[in-house]
Amino acid sequence: MLSVASSLFGKTSTLGAYTLHSAGPSPSSSSTNLPAAGRSSPRPSRSFNVGLWKVVGATHKTTGKDVSVWVFEKRVLDGVRNGRDWVLEQLKKEATALSRLRHPDVLHMVEPLEESRTELTFVTETVSGSLGNVLASAKKNGEVDLDEVEIQKGTLQVARALGFLHTQAKSVHLNLSPDAILVNAKGDWKLSGLNLVLPLQQPDGSPTKYVYPEVDTRLPPQVQWKLDYLAPEYALDNTLAPANDLYSLGCVLYALHIGRPPFATRGSIQALRENAEGLGRRDYARGAKWDRASNELRDLLPRLLTRTPSGRITLQSLPSHPFFSSLAISTLNFLDPTTFASKPREEKATFLRGLVRVLPNFSERLKKGKILLSLLEEMKDPYLLPFLLPNVFEISKSLDKTEFAVVLPKLQPLFALKDPPQNMLTLLDNLTMFEEKTSPAQFRENVMPLIYNSLESEHLPVQERVLRLVPQLCEILDYGTVQNILLTKIAILFTRTRILSVKVQTLDCFTAMVSTLDTTTLTTKLVPLLAKIKTKEPAVMMATLSVHEAMGQKVSLEAIATLVLPQLWAMSMGPLLNADQFARFMRVIQGLGSRVEKEHSQHLREVRKMEEQTTSFATNGAPGDFAAPSGEVDFETLVKGGGSASNTGATTSAPATIDPWSMDGWDDDNLTSFASLSVTDPAPTSPPRASSSRLGATRLPSGSFNASAFPPATPAFSPHLASPPLQPLRATPASPPRASRDSSGPNYNLSLEPQAPKVTSPKFPPIQPPLRSPISAQNSGFPPLQPQSGLKGMGGMSSGSGMGMGGGMGGMSGSMGMASPPITSPPMQPAQPRPPPGWSSGVMQPNVAKPTWNAAQAAKTDWGDFDPLK
């Protein structure tokens, strides 16, 4: 039923299972046989003609196997009237004979012949052309595009196919010509053109009836007798024998070297008779091309081109002729799948070791098409891999990226084989070739697993070889691959190995990675890893020194000061170091120390300058309020760059140095303390004169204080701060505190006497210039707000609490209004600061004091954290 439907629609069911690489020759081919619109063929290839057949490359849709589809369009015979059926019969006979004959040197049929209303089709193994196509190209170019070794190898393959036909099939080909010999994807020659095959005997044992080689000029010559290649004894003497094909083989061999057959009969038996008389005189043995032929060829051809079969060389003795005795031919014969599979492993290994030396004797086409593919098929045997891989890479040197893409999938399974180690060593030695013949994405995805598996190998030579390649890889790989995968693999090997040479090489790899890795990775991963080194081996210590020297300009100052320099100082005292090595340690230590000194000093100067600007801004304000002469500057104007000119100078801060290290990343108590987050600088050059107030604060008239600007008092202790609660200190009359007079640092000798709250209107002392805050201007980008003397009991608040008042009052900014009438306010007490969102944990922010002030409950430790030196 299916065949009937296919016939009705004029197509075959076979082609529906294949995707053609190029447009099919048949106009009746449906869209299912062709590549989908807008999608290119997976492997585009040209189509060519073999006789009346059109050969098109195709790929099976399910298995992905490449094949060749043979198609004959019946409309070609529209002009043939009388012999149409005979021509179709010859074409069917050729395809049917291929399906019956199975031999490695006979063209292999994949799908049998199918006939539709408009065409004949069958499918064979992939073929790239016929010798007839080669000779047609030679007429245009003047030279046959075949290497001598290819011709020798192919001739022997055809001879083996003829031997199978003569001995097993008991038949004679009689149609041997360049069109009857196909070349497959490996460069092997395959016998075809079996439409004129005659059996030597009939099934009953009687001789086969002679068929006269008549040529009808009205019919296509492709399906008729080729008199130029037909043996004269068959055409003239009616002799059917296996020797007939040997004469035809001699004509093909002659045509491949000279470019034409020995004689041109033009389809005439009379011309064939006349030429046969010239065989004895060797009329063909003349011309410049004949003179250039080798002596072995000129000896072989007269043994094949004879008038009678009695003087002709036999098929059995043909391979032993000197023409086929070259080392290259012997090599190819040994590599033939049927021969190679039967050899023991020892002979295979010996052959593969010597193959590298003879590869230059072969043409590029033969190496790529025949030898390379044969070697790739033998990679299933791990024992032979150390001998196969050098030959594969030697041939791959001449491949382009497209050709190497066929080889790479065959090599990828070998990347995971860790034994024997010679396999990985050979693959690593050719890593440059992988880089040159693959794209960056292919190299990263398909080749880098070889590097990762090599780093995990237990074999010392493999580890040393792959570590020597890492510096080269760092130059071609992207940042993500180096940081996320390669660095981790090498770090694991660094911590696991106990071999000195491997330890030193891993450190050399770290040095090569410094230029690729970023500051955060170096500081958080590499510096702590190196800090764990305890060995006193000079080689390891000097390699570690090289890594730290390379990282010196990239890691943070804190890492250098707290981790790198202490380790280098300890290593420099190693008992095994010589004077030169110690001197190098000193140079690196001095260089890193100079960087810390220079950059940190610059940082401190910038902080001091910022605080001077902040102090100047606060002291130059109006005496009645904090407003600048130009009026109040709101938050939106300030952050958008607006405001008065006087505010601009006060709020400008130096560029902040980004520290990629978090405090927790160091796991160091000295770095996570609260005092480390504060920067204490010398006092301003022109400190304001202290008031007669006990705490040195400027008095402020009570009538100018706007109490409505303060929110209701709420407890604000922050549970997440690690510092102890602030506690008041009792005043010492013998040593009253002085605000901002000592230029060497901030005044920490503050005292506050606890007092009971009074329900009276508060009296505000005059405004005093602020105490210097230990908070760096770089942390916030805004001038720190200064503490002011307020209610009795508030005058002793620290700079952190005074600064926090500005942040917690909402409406109280740099231009606070102080003109509201006196009001009764609840008593206040210092509260535990809590940073607002976005502020660093080191900046103390004010909160409204608890309303339960009681001198009896005040303890000495309540203000203990006020002194950062405590």
Which residues face 53 on adjacent strands? 50
Within-domain flag for 534:
no
Within-domain flag for 225:
yes
Structure letter (DSSP) for residue 523: I
Which ranges in 19-83 belong to alpha helices (H)? Answer: none
pLDDT in tens, 451-469: 888 887 778 888 788 888 8
Answer yes or no: is pLDDT of 268 > 90. Answer: no
Same domain, 773 and 842: yes
Identify the pLDDT of residue 45.
58
Same domain, 120 and 149: no
Average confidence (pLDDT) over 840-852:
45
Q: Is the dihedral of CA 805, 807, 809, 811 positive or negative?
A: positive
Question: Which helix (H) or strand (E) covers residue 173, if one does?
Answer: none
Q: How confident is the model at residue 621 (pLDDT cuts 50, 70, 90)?
A: low
Residue with the bigger pLDDT between 20 and 637: it is 20
In this predicted structure, which of 87-96, 130-139, 140-149 has the lowest mean pLDDT? 140-149
Q: Is the peptide bond before 701 cis (omega within 30 degrees of 0)?
A: no
Residue with the bigger pLDDT between 274 and 640: it is 274
Identify the pLDDT of residue 773.
40
pLDDT in tens, 110-131: 888 888 888 899 999 989 888 8
Burial tier of 166 (Cβ tally within 10 Å: 0-12, 13-18, 19+): buried
- Long-range contact set of residues 323-330: C-beta below 8 Å, sequence gap at least 24: 323/152, 323/294, 323/296, 323/297, 323/299, 324/152, 324/155, 324/156, 326/149, 326/152, 327/358, 327/361, 328/149, 328/152, 328/358, 328/361, 328/362, 329/149, 329/152, 329/153, 329/156
pLDDT in tens, 652-665: 344 443 333 333 43
Same domain, 313 and 192: yes
Q: How confident is the model at residue 638 (pLDDT cuts 50, 70, 90)?
A: low
Identify the pLDDT of residue 834.
53
Residue 649 neighbours by CB distance under 10 Å: 11
Instruction: Pick the closest to residue 648 from 624, 604, 603, 617 (CA basis).
Output: 617
Number of folded domains in the chain? 3
In this predicted structure, which of 111-115, 405-409, 702-706, 799-803 has the lowest mean pLDDT? 799-803
The per-residue pLDDT of the chain, averaged, comes to 70
Q: How many percent of the chain have pLDDT more than 70?
A: 66
Identify the pLDDT of residue 141.
64
Q: How far apart are CA 372 and CA 363, in angstroms?
A: 12
Answer yes or no: is pLDDT of 401 > 50. Answer: yes
Contact 659, 559 (CB under 8 A): no
Average confidence (pLDDT) over 220-229:
88
Query: Which of 324, 342, 367 is where one domain is finished?
Result: 324
Identify the pLDDT of residue 143.
64
Identify the pLDDT of residue 159.
92
Identify the pLDDT of residue 182.
92
Q: How far, CA to CA in Å, does 818 sit from each of 49, 120, 388, 693, 829? A: 105, 107, 94, 20, 21
pLDDT in tens, 473-508: 777 777 777 777 877 888 887 788 777 788 788 888
Q: Is the dihedral of CA 627, 633, 635, 641 positive or negative?
A: negative
Contacting residues for 611 by C-beta, under 8 A, at least 6 apart: 681, 684, 772, 773, 777, 784
Q: How far apart are CA 749 and CA 746, in angstroms?
A: 9
Q: Is the dihedral of CA 120, 121, 122, 125 positive or negative?
A: positive
Q: How many percent of the chain have pLDDT more than 90?
A: 5
Same domain, 11 and 51: yes
Answer yes or no: is pLDDT of 39 > 70. Answer: no
Query: Which of 324, 345, 379 is where one domain is finished?
Result: 324
Answer yes or no: is pLDDT of 844 > 50. Answer: no
Within-domain flag for 270:
yes
Identify the pLDDT of residue 458.
79
Average confidence (pLDDT) over 618-642:
54
Query: Which of 309, 324, 339 is where one domain is finished?
Result: 324
Residue with the bigger pLDDT between 365 and 868: it is 365
pLDDT in tens, 296-336: 888 999 899 888 888 889 989 888 888 888 888 888 888 87
Average confidence (pLDDT) over 95-121:
88
Identify the pLDDT of residue 180.
92
Average confidence (pLDDT) over 93-110:
89
Coil vs helix vs strand at 821: coil
Same domain, 314 and 185: yes
Average confidence (pLDDT) over 401-427:
81
Q: How far apart are CA 246 and CA 312, in angstroms?
A: 8
Within-domain flag for 845:
yes
The listed range with the strongest mean pLDDT (128-142, 655-669, 700-714) is 128-142
Average confidence (pLDDT) over 782-798:
41
Within-domain flag for 163:
yes
Same domain, 213 and 191: yes
Same domain, 738 and 806: yes
Placement of tokens 């709420």 in the chain: 714
Average confidence (pLDDT) over 152-176:
90
In this predicted structure, which of 224-233, 269-278, 365-374, 772-781 has the lowest mean pLDDT? 772-781
Within-domain flag for 43:
yes
Decide the pairing of beta strands 198-199 and 109-115.
unpaired
Within-domain flag for 360:
no
Same domain, 58 and 189: no
Q: How confident is the model at residue 641 (pLDDT cuts 50, 70, 90)?
A: low
Q: How far apart are CA 494 and CA 482, in angstroms?
A: 16
Average confidence (pLDDT) over 699-726:
46
Identify the pLDDT of residue 181.
93
Residue with the bigger pLDDT between 101 and 710: it is 101
Angle at 11 between CA 8 and CA 13, to 5 degrees: 105
Same domain, 37 and 168: no
Question: Which helix (H) or strand (E) covers residue 54, if one does?
Answer: strand 53-60
Contact 293, 144 (CB under 8 A): no
Range of the domain at 702: 683-870
Could you tell me the end-to-end alpha-carbon distance of the chain, in angstroms, rounded to an integer?
101
Same domain, 32 and 156: no
Answer yes or no: is pLDDT of 636 > 70. Answer: no
The one-letter amino acid at 21? H
Answer yes or no: is pLDDT of 75 > 50. Answer: yes
Contact 699, 840 (CB under 8 A): no
Within-domain flag for 737:
yes
Average confidence (pLDDT) over 92-100:
89
Coil vs helix vs strand at 176: coil
Any idea what the CATH number is for the domain that residue 299 is in? 1.10.510.10
Answer yes or no: is pLDDT of 69 > 70. Answer: yes
Same domain, 115 and 144: no
Identify the pLDDT of residue 850.
46
Burial tier of 134 (Cβ tally within 10 Å: 0-12, 13-18, 19+): middle
Any idea what the CATH number is for the domain that residue 111 is in? 3.30.200.20
Same domain, 297 and 200: yes
